[in-house]
Amino acid sequence: MPNTGDILMELRDRLAEWMAERGYSGNVYIAEAPIDDMVGQYAIQIVPGPDTAAHPNSGVGLIRTNIALVVWWRGMIAPVMRGTYRISGDAGIQQFTDVLREWMVQRTLGGLLAVPLTFRNGGTVQAVADLEGWLTLKDTYEFAYEMDWEVK
């Protein structure tokens, strides 16, 4: 049976492959806070959330987990003159996030998940105060996987 760590590592690897196939940098991190050494125009931060033992669509034996995916986007485009482009242009953060959402929804990660990745909440584009040119957008997903258990 998988555990949350196995699933997060699999998700990280598959997201990196997805980014590389589309010509992005492949920078995907599992971290609770931003990382100083991010490079490239795009990066994805996977933030593990809490686990719960019950899943509303099933019974005993599943662990429900929430994760946040934070998309990091960097561009030195002037926010005053080209602010709209930074967000919704062809290479903007919203366009990237929309395609990422389409890819994420209903993934089982090769059968690791009993309940596939489900989109729960989208975020708002935010400028990063201490990092010039960076924007972030956070989405929340939920999934469930089987756990080992027995009646005692």
DSSP state of 97: H
Radius of gyration of the chain (CA): 17
pTM of the model: 0.85
Kindly report the number of other CB atoms within 10 A of residue 98's CB atom.
12
User: For 36-74, how does the pLDDT look when each residue is reduced to its tens digit (9 = 90+)?
Assistant: 565 668 889 999 998 887 656 555 678 889 999 999 988
Residue 36 pLDDT: 59
Residue 135 pLDDT: 87
Residue 8 to residue 17: CA distance in whole angstroms: 14
Residue holding tokens 């010039």? 132
Residue 54 pLDDT: 63
- The answer to whether residue 33 scores a pLDDT higher than 80 is no
User: For 80-137, how does the pLDDT look when each residue is reduced to its tens digit (9 = 90+)?
Assistant: 656 677 777 777 888 899 999 999 999 999 999 999 999 999 988 898 888 778 889 9
